[in-house]
Amino acid sequence: MKRKHFYSHIVDTSTISLELGNMDLTPEERVHLLSLVDSNIHHVILDLILSELSEDDKKIFLMRMAEGKHEEIWKFLKVKTNNIEEKIKKVAEILKTKLYKDIKETKGE
């Protein structure tokens, strides 16, 4: 089961999921690849956010993330950063484009 992240409402990976679904993969391979996609997106988003925060704010952010308090995370980020939702969308789209290209190349398209 896919874990819900605090940014899940603004980052959609369904196109990558559909593309993987069109490949000759076992269900286990597909689930594994989707997990890697999710993990990669998660890491680029965390890297982006942490690069925008002070050392003290990083600790607060990580604590709220560990607690899974999505609304509090967004309130905090909106106060401590500028246009973070747009930045998250942008880094996620860049990575998704790269992953989509890799999938197409693997399929020989």
pLDDT tens per residue across all 109 residues of the chain: 456 899 999 999 888 888 888 888 899 999 999 999 999 999 999 999 999 999 999 999 999 999 998 999 999 999 999 999 999 999 999 999 999 898 888 877 6
Residue type for 37, please? V
CA 38 – CA 61 distance, rounded (Å): 20
Q: Is the pTM of this model over 0.85?
A: yes
pLDDT of residue 76: 97
Per the CB < 8 A criterion, the answer to whether 52 and 80 are in contact is yes
